[in-house]
Amino acid sequence: MSSMLEQLAPEADLIDDQYVGIRRRARQRLMTHGFPDLKTEAWKYTSLRVLEKRELEGGSDIGSVEPKTLPFEACIIRFDNGLLDDASLDLPEGVYLEPLDPSELVNVDYGDRADAMAWLNLARFDQAWKLVIAGEVEKPLVLATTLSEAFRAGVHPRLKIEVADGASAVLIEQQRDYGAGLINIVQDIHVGRGAQLRHIIQRRNADSIWVQRTRVNVSADGDYRCHALELAGRLVRQDLAVHLLEAGANGEIDGVAYVDSKQHVDWHTAIDHEVGHTNSRESFRILADGSGVGVFNGRIHIQRGADDSHSDLNTANLLLSENARINTKPELEIYAEEVTASHGATIGQLEDSALFYLRSRGLPADEAMALLKFGFAAAPLETLEIADLREWLTNELHRVL
Amino acid sequence: MLNIQDLRVAIGDKEIIKGLDLAIGPGELHAIMGPNGSGKSTLGYALAGREGYDITGGKVEFEGADLADMEPEERAAAGLFLAFQYPVEIPGVNNAYFLRAALNAQRKARGEEEVDSMTFLKTVRESLKALKMDESLLKRAVNEGFSGGEKKRNEIVQMAVLNPKLAVLDETDSGLDIDALKLVAEGINAQRDGKRSFLVITHYQRLLDYLTPDRVHVLAGGRIVESGGQELAERLEAEGYAFLEEESAA
């Protein structure tokens, strides 16, 4: 695995900037822990070995692709090939973007090899931004990350997002990859007291390896809701950890992932009830076709003393071909009292009776199948109460099913 | 319209329909009655083309075409409709969307123009109103969370919108209270135009009180054992199916 370290973070390539001390420390940790392999529990079904074989090369001449136009008004923040050009940025009132101060990174700590990609990001990030949302922002903020066809690089975007007390916003991550490189994103989101954040992740990839780690801290009476439409790619690994830090905090995740042909998607989510009187809900669905692989691990952790907390976790999965694979695991760990927590997991196939019903009404088999798949997949998106956005997501889903 | 000769249908290795003959002409309404397990629903599924219900012998002609060669959707486009005994719930699929997609798929298969959403909604709304169903059902998922009666009435709404030549109604009356039963019967009668044909599969006579069938058949042991007029249905209601056994034993 040291070859992977040399491949991904050669010492000579560490940028000598204001963060250099932080970078060196991160690289040191990487050297100590190494990268995860299939024996690492959190990476049991997802191998990063493909990175060993992949020649990542920079190159300034790789062009950029316009993000797809959205069918609603929004403020677009473009990350072309993972990098932000802030020169022409026009942000709405109450929204600020600034480089992250090194002091905010000095004490950053991750675990061992399971967190290697986060250490790698810390060693190698090209830019580190801080996005501050200080008021009630009406138009959705869109982080549009687009990797061009010629993208073969390794890029490590780093972003901290602060939603101030009482503020509210809709944040959309519109992520499109047409390339064959590596993108390794680390995000830290802070939802302030009484603040609201709707976080939408809409990703569709080609051959790049897409690793993203999102950690969300929710303060008292803060409300964080994530809606994800994962349309996969060669390899996607998303870690989403939501920490409910103070009473009244609410965290919800609704996601659907569709994998086809040789695609691989791995979603690891964790909702941590650190104190009592906190609520969470999660619903995640995977549809796997072709020889696609879908992995879902959903952990709910209700800590000692986090009494009067409520949580519900549900995962349903649809296997659409013999060669497709789904690994799904809901994990409930409860150490508190007066708690309600429930979970359920199913893996099934399309029902013959439903298929026949639709065909008997005149729908050809392929259309009937598409309609059933769509019906299954769209359910988690129905919880999004903003009609424009819900329609956009369901249309995106329609295009692939 | 429908011409069945010596039909045999098997589920797996088990033969359920064992040589059935039936001819339904245009505009006719036939009823098939029979005890549980006599093969009534099997007949409905075999006509609609459900996988696993294999036609192993005999012939089924619908408007001159051999049904055995046709996929379920081709049968639908040709004008065959099956109202299910147990309509299937399809979570996540919008009722109105589904019905319009089905209608347009049929029209496309027949080389007809697609129906625009205004015309479509008008037709559906009329049918809903006639069956005293709330318009909000259109926005809900197909049959999901519908009561038993709503599901059955929804089948009749679908029938009205899809406008088939032959409708096979598989125990559409079961699970309906008397008011719903009347509505369903009215829905069927509204479609009787002298051309459209019906095959009403039922366990009880009460639906037939409102429908006045041209012929009543009794299905037992996979065969039609007796045919007659409305009076046959009344006799079955009064005496039960036991007299059939006595007659066949005699």
Give the tens place of pLDDT for each residue, A76-116: 999 999 999 887 789 999 999 999 999 999 999 999 999 99
For chain A, the first-to-last Cα distance in angstroms comes to 39
Interface of B with A in 52-81 (CB under 8 A): 71-73, 75-77, 81
pLDDT of residue B237: 83
Q: Is the dihedral of CA B201, B204, B209, B215 positive or negative?
A: positive
Flag whether pLDDT at B248 surpasses 60: no
Q: What backbone torsions phi and psi does residue B210 show, to the nearest 5 degrees?
A: -95, -10
Confidence band (pLDDT; 50, 70, 90) for B250? very low
Flag whether pLDDT at A118 surpasses 90: yes
- Say if residues B192 and B198 touch (Cβ distance below 8 Å): yes
Tens of pLDDT, residue by residue over A167-180, are 999 999 999 999 99
- Contacts with B91 (C-beta within 8 Å, 6 or more apart), sequence order: A375, A376, A379, B141, B144
CA atoms within 13 A on the CB side of B100: 19
Mutate to test the interface with B, among A283, A359, A391 (most CBs of B within 10 A): A359
- A367 and B50: CB-CB below 8 Å? no
In this structure, of A45-59, B49-63, B215-229, the range with the lowest mean pLDDT score is: A45-59
Q: Which residues of A135-152 are buried (b: 16+ CB within 10 A; e: fewer)?
A: eebeebbbbbbbbbebbb
- A360 and B87: CB-CB below 8 Å? no
Interface of B with A in 146-175 (CB under 8 A): 158, 162
- B98 and A358: CB-CB below 8 Å? yes
Q: Is the dihedral of CA B234, B239, B242, B246 positive or negative?
A: negative
> How close B178 comes to chain A (CA, Å)?
27
Confidence band (pLDDT; 50, 70, 90) for A2? low
> How close A186 comes to chain B (CA, Å)?
34
Confidence band (pLDDT; 50, 70, 90) for B246? low
Flag whether pLDDT at B72 surpasses 90: yes
For A95, A163, A167, A247, A305, the CA distances from A223, given in Å and listed in that order, are 19, 11, 11, 11, 21
Tens of pLDDT, residue by residue over A294-323, are 999 999 999 999 999 999 999 999 999 999
pLDDT of residue A401: 86
Chain B partners of A369 at a C-beta cutoff of 8 Å?
Answer: none
Tens of pLDDT, residue by residue over A136-147, are 999 999 999 999
- B73 and A364: CB-CB below 8 Å? yes
Tell me what percent of the residues of chain A surpass a pLDDT of 90: 87
Flag whether pLDDT at B135 surpasses 70: yes
Mutate to test the interface with B, among A258, A318, A350, A356 (most CBs of B within 10 A): A356
Question: Coil, helix or strand for A232?
Answer: coil
Chain B partners of A352 at a C-beta cutoff of 8 Å?
Answer: 51
Tens of pLDDT, residue by residue over A150-201, are 999 999 999 999 999 999 999 999 999 999 999 999 999 999 999 999 999 9
* B109 interface with A at CB cutoff 8 Å: yes
Q: What backbone torsions phi and psi does residue A63 show, to the nearest 5 degrees?
A: 70, 175
- How many angstroms separate the CA atoms of A360 and A311, rounded? 41
- How many angstroms separate the CA atoms of A101 and A117, rounded? 21
Tens of pLDDT, residue by residue over B140-196, are 899 999 988 899 999 999 999 999 999 999 999 988 889 889 989 998 999 999 999
Tens of pLDDT, residue by residue over B74-125, are 999 999 999 999 999 998 888 999 999 999 999 999 999 999 999 999 999 9
Tell me what percent of the residues of chain A surpass a pLDDT of 70: 99
Best CA proximity match to B165, nearest among B47, B34, B22, B46 = B47
Q: What is the DSSP letter of A50?
A: H
pLDDT of residue A74: 96
**Does an H or E element contain B250, and which?**
none
Kindly state the tokens that stand for B180. 């719903």
- How many angstroms separate the CA atoms of A1 and A16, rounded? 25
The structure's pTM equals 0.88
pLDDT of residue B122: 93
- Say if residues A313 and A296 touch (Cβ distance below 8 Å): no
- How many angstroms separate the CA atoms of B143 and B150, rounded? 8
For A88, A360, B68, B80, B100, the CA distances from B49, given in Å and listed in that order, are 62, 8, 8, 10, 22
Question: Coil, helix or strand for A374?
Answer: helix
Flag whether pLDDT at A384 surpasses 60: yes
- B87 and A377: CB-CB below 8 Å? no
Q: What is the DSSP letter of B158?
A: H
> How close B162 comes to chain A (CA, Å)?
8
Tens of pLDDT, residue by residue over A9-50, are 998 889 999 999 999 999 999 999 999 999 999 999 999 999
Kindly state the tokens that stand for B114. 């697609």
Confidence band (pLDDT; 50, 70, 90) for B51? very high
For A15, A153, A184, A203, A229, the CA distances from A211, given in Å and listed in that order, are 21, 14, 5, 12, 16
Residue by residue, what is the 3-state secondary structure of A8-37? Answer: HCCHHHCCCCCCHHHHHHHHHHHHHHCCCC
- Contacts with B42 (C-beta within 8 Å, 6 or more apart), sequence order: B9, B11, B16, B17, B53
Best CA proximity match to A375, nearest among A401, A346, A352, A353 = A401
Flag whether pLDDT at A343 surpasses 50: yes
Interface of A with B in 350-389 (CB under 8 A): 351-354, 356-365, 367-368, 371-372, 374-379, 382
- Say if residues A97 and A11 touch (Cβ distance below 8 Å): no
- How many angstroms separate the CA atoms of A338 and A305, rounded? 10
* A390 interface with B at CB cutoff 8 Å: no
A194: buried, middle or exposed (CB in 10 Å: 19+, 13-18, 0-12)? middle
Contacts by B234-238, CB closer than 8 A, 24 or more apart: B234/B205, B236/B33, B236/B205, B237/B204, B237/B205, B237/B206
DSSP percent split of chain B into helix, strand, coil, nearest 5:
40, 30, 30
Average pLDDT across chain B, whole number: 92
pLDDT of residue B247: 59
**What average pLDDT does this structure show over A195-213?**
97
- Say which residue, A2 or B46, is predicted with more confidence: B46
